[in-house]
Structure 1
Amino acid sequence: MSVTQLYDRQAWNALPKREAEVILHQLVNTQFPGFTIKRFETFEKFGQRTYTSVLEYDGAEFVFVPGDTVVLGLDSWNMATENRNNMAAMFEDNAGEMDNYIRERLSPVRTVTIGPMIVEREYRPTGYFPVELTDERLTSDDYFEKAFAEVKASTREHWSYTVNDSFRLVKNGDKITAWLYQGASREELLREIQATGFRLPTEDEWEYLCGGGSRTLYPWGDAIDYDKDYLYFKKNDQPEIYLDTPNHFGLVIANNPYRYEIMMDSEWFLKGGDGGCNLCGGGGLDLGYLSVSTYFRDSSIFDEDLNYEEEITGDYTFIRRIKRV
């Protein structure tokens, strides 16, 4: 197995598929017990592609992500005129003030080497654990009967009904499952994850997984496309198919302003959103979606009143487990 190929995406993607498959079989068999290869697949999005394997571990899907040396962070961008004008209106048409606002919220430009890893494809919620619908801790909640009746009567095929930091009911077809909430500090959560043999990405790793080193504001470019359906700004009843689909590594990044992903070993320990602050503050689509920028940093995560370090779990924070090769 060539270490160079694992650390260089260009070299990795230049491999014949059969040779890449042999390497991945060897890698999984020697380093990742409990993982099985389900299939091999090419993922392509926003001008980038990767031929990789989709693996399964304990019911969850993972992908192999080759490493690379890339430039991360951003200090300039080429925003479309319409986007720029719409966003500048939030700053009383002061484009300079708008640019400073954006630049202050992006990570600095730096060159980093990212090692290869096995990465969970979907982000998963924090703080909730499954219980029976008859669990007394659930049925004793004042809102349970009303919530259960509403979910049961719903004609929706799939629905998640959450009573914040209390419980969640999930409907799939005729089946309803229940989840209770139990808070945890960041330290407790990381300790629990590491005890299972996994870790969470660093900020550098997450930016690479999200954008692959792209030199644009968003993973897809520098502009909001007003012809696309964005979550919370739908123009019709169709699902949002633009963002929540596998990216160039086969990963589903939330691209949801309300949803953070939790980092470890990094000062900026939440990435991928702002808890919906700009949306709730009337920022509209342009400013509201700034937080899904690959390089966005939300300084409010350090706010003592929000207390993220002491209780990092909840409805706005998610995890994506990884294993480094």
Structure 2
Amino acid sequence: MKINENWSLSNGEKLTTSEIFLRLVQKQISSELVCWNEKNSQDIVNKRFAILNNRYGLLRVLGEGAFGKVYLGVDIKRLLNTKTRFVAIKRPTEKILHNYAQQSGYKHNENLSSKQNEQEAIQWAKLELGQMFSQEALSTGRLSSCPNVVSILDHDIRSPYLALEYCNGGVLRHRMQQPYNAEDIERWAKEIANALQASHSLQPDLLIHRDLKPDNVLLHNGILKVSDFGTAQMKLESESLKSLKGGYTPRYAAPEAFDGTAQPATDIWSLGVILYEMICKESPFKGQTMPELMRSIFVCEATDIEEKAIYPVSSRLKELVMRSLNKDPQQRPTAKDFLQTTVEKEVTETEFSINEITPHDNVEQCKKRHKKRSKSRYLILFFIISLAILAFWWKGMDNADVVNVASMPGFKFLHEKTYSCGGQTHTMKEYRHDRTGMEFVLIPGGSFNMGSNDSGVGVDEKPMHRVSVNSFLLAKHEVTQEVWRSVMGDNPSYFKDSKFSDVKDNKLPMENVSWTKSKSFCDRLGMRLPTEAEWEYACRAGTRSKYYWGNSMDGNYAWHSNSSRQTHKVGQKSPNAFGLYDMAGNVWEWCADWYDSNYYTSSTTNNPQGASSGSRRVIRGGGWDYHTGDCRSADRHYASPSFFVNDLGFRPCITWTADN
């Protein structure tokens, strides 16, 4: 059920889901009315619309576990103020309550019937579990300032439930089944460790999680948040092969956990198992049965992570993971140790620097320009003063708005515009393509450091190397469906139906197109796809940071996991310092090059064209449903030239020939 879904009522009214919840709470409609819509058959309102504690409307089930079910709910109280707040409602089922009463020592009253005894047992279990939920709320409430812990918003003892912060990215276990990279693992390790550090540092009584595993770690806007502090102590017979005394799940339990012992180091073991699984794609301890698994955990040593590692994480993190799996709790690291991990090599500006980007027509002119910089400081000072005087004089002229620019056949000059981003500021010349109306930016040729030497990045991004490119025109936006249709006569995009977006499809980026079809589009217009070097140069726009705006993800610049799982109208996010939009996120972008993971070791310096042959083409920039690491300026990916998917598009470019 969706919050804005429309319903017909037997009294003749047509209301949305949120309006029905509001009317029921305010007693403005009868719960005995019949409701229906195009997707759902007729049913009584009070059966279709469940309301908890006269406060939360239950929309659908999100998941189910040892404690019961988790529902997606809406805070009806907020709806009264025309605000929508989604919450996750954790609530035990009748079966869970019954099992808990049986296991936990409820004594039947001989003076009551079996049915009455069962009802009494359920009420007793509700109070017991309600107290546990209350304890979890109080315990987790002390962690409210930690950004990596799921917040508890509300709870009730008599009708036990917990209302938690709704996390839109699902559980970590599902995320681990999707593509990720070493940078993600490094970040996730710190985010989980940050939650453990906060809980292990509480005073006067520290808080131990007791059941840390990927199912109890959630994602919200790409950030990990640990959940279920406290309820892990619930012991349910239905989960007897999955949970131990104290709450631990055997696969992630330290040796001492099998005796019911809990200490901070026991949580660290669980973190080590999770990270080992991330890095190696397999568990460090295996067993088909409980005795086999216990023997592996108690007796066997985990295979050295260096032998099993699939992802090139830092040696520091590998060392911490292996120490976490030490049988002796005293020999394990602390959560704080994970937070102090550093990259293996710091890139200094002396080793890698980017000179101020200045326009030039070819690389030789750039070299000559560098030679001129060796002249005396007095000549440079005189030149600067002369320019200042000239600028002052030019500003006072009547025709100051006239810009002397070169023309380009098939393009109309629009204006010069200044952009600032990531500590860089550039004034760019912009043109409009006569046939399609697409806007292009003249990217001034220059030199930059391509790739990354950072710890944790893909081996295909190394080594960082110096590259020079000539000037070229690059589309300001990714090709839109409107432009594609005007050139190709069709629209194979996935997100073209209004049911996926409230944005008209003409400004949505083109996707679902292969490299072959993208090249065909460019060929019809006398354009081409940018080389990988041109793409990264244009993306960076003079920056040396991970992203073209800084070193951490900022949703003001990119559509990624914040996209509600769809593309968005081009140009809604802030541009880079070259005035280019959506270079990170929204849709991946095809490049002209063949992909070769070792190409950077032998790349040419001037205008590199990529590998001479191959079976896969380069794609860059990340897409609407990818993690933040894929949006880094240096991140490289690939796909078959015939491959197409709903998060892969392109932007064309053209070699600048006006001054040749």
With the length of structure 2 as denominator, give the TM-score of the two structures. 0.31
What is residue 265 of structure 1 aligned with on the other side? 593
**Contact 1:125 / 1:319 at 8 angstroms: preserved in 2?**
no
Superimposed CA distance per residue, residues 52-72 of structure 1 (whole angstroms, 9 cap, x where no aligned partner): 222111311111111101111
From 291, 294, 297, the equivalent of 2:636 is 297
Residues 145-173 of structure 1, C-alpha deviations (whole Å, 9 max, x = no match) = xx66x68xx9x5x344xxxxxxxxx599x
Secondary structure of 2:431's counterpart equals strand
Matched, 1:322 2:653: yes
Q: What displacement does 1:124 show?
A: 1.3
Instruction: Specify whether residues 57 and 127 from structure 1 end up closer, same or farther in structure 2 by C-alpha distance, changes over 3 A only.
Output: closer
Indicate the residue corresponding to 1:65 in structure 2.
443
Question: Are residues 1:27 and 2:381 paired?
Answer: no
Partner of 1:55: 431
CA offsets 1:171-199 (integer angstroms, 9 cap, x no match): 99xxxxxx999x76533532441242111
Partner of 2:641: 309
Q: Which amino acid is the alignment partner of residue 649 of structure 2?
A: F
Q: Is the CA contact 1:107–1:295 (under 8 Å) kept in the aligned structure 2?
A: no
Closer, same or farther: CA 263–26 of 1 in aligned 2, 3 Å: same
1:82-121 matched pairs, under 5 angstroms: 99-100=455-456, 102-104=457-459, 106-121=461-476
Query: Counterpart of 1:68 in structure 2: which amino acid?
Result: G
Alpha-carbon distance in 2 for matches of 1:227, 1:217: 15
Rounded to whole Å, the distance in 1 between the matches of 2:558 and 2:520 is 38
Matches within 5 A, 1:1-325: 5-7=359-361, 25-28=404-407, 32-58=408-434, 59-76=437-454, 99-100=455-456, 102-104=457-459, 106-125=461-480, 130=485, 156=502, 158-160=503-505, 185-224=514-553, 231-233=560-562, 244-256=573-585, 259-267=587-595, 268-273=617-622, 276=625, 279=626, 288-298=627-637, 301-302=638-639, 308-312=640-644, 314-325=645-656
Structure 1 alignment gaps of length 5 or more:
77-98, 139-143, 161-169, 173-178, 280-287, 303-307
Give 1:5 deviation, angstroms: 4.5
Q: Please, what TM-score do these two structures have when normalized by structure 1? A: 0.58
Matches of 1:264 and 1:171 in 2, distance apart?
A: 24
Change (3 A) 1:266 1:53: same
- Cα deviation for residue 118 of structure 1 reads 1.3
Shift of the alpha carbon at 1:229? Answer: 8.9
Q: CA contact under 8 A between 1:190 and 1:199: conserved in structure 2? A: yes
- Tell me the amino acid that sits aligned with residue 550 of structure 2: G
Q: Which amino acid is 1:259 matched to? A: V
- Equivalenced residue count is 239
Rounded Cα–Cα distance in structure 2 between residues aligned with 1:171 and 1:270: 22
> Partners of 2:556 and 2:575 in 1: how far apart?
20
Change (3 A) 1:119 1:25: farther
For the 8 Å contact 2:446–2:469, the answer to whether it is kept is: yes
Q: 1:188 to 1:159 in 2, by over 3 A?
A: closer
8 Å CA contact 1:202–1:266 kept in 2: the answer is: no
Give how far 1:230 is off. 6.3
Q: What SS does the aligned partner of 1:263 have?
A: strand
Q: Is the 8 A contact 2:475 2:651 kept in 1?
A: yes
Higher relative contact order (CA 8 A, sep 6+): 1
Question: Matched residue of 1:320: which SS?
Answer: coil
Uncovered stretches (5+) of structure 2, i.e. residues with no partner? 1-357, 373-383, 395-399, 596-616
Flag the 1:122–1:128 CA change in 2: closer, same or farther, 3 A: closer
Distance 1:159 1:310 in 2: 28
- How much has 1:121 moved relative to structure 2? 0.3
Indicate how the Cα distance of structure 1 residues 218 and 180 shifts in structure 2: closer, same or farther if over 3 A, else same: closer
1:188–1:320 distance in 2 versus 1, CA, 3 Å: closer
- 8 Å Cα contact 1:130-1:180 kept in structure 2: no
Whether the 8 Å CA contact 1:126–1:319 is kept in 2: the answer is no
1: CA distance between counterparts of 2:440 and 2:432? 6
User: What is the letter of the counterpart of residue 43 of structure 1?
Assistant: Y
Q: Helix, strand or coil for the counterpart of 1:264? A: strand
Counterpart position of 2:109: none
Shift of 1:115: 0.6
CA contact (8 A) 1:203 1:263 kept: yes
User: Judging changes above 3 Å, is the alpha-carbon distance between structure 1 residues 107 and 209 closer, same or farther for their aligned structure 2 residues?
Assistant: farther
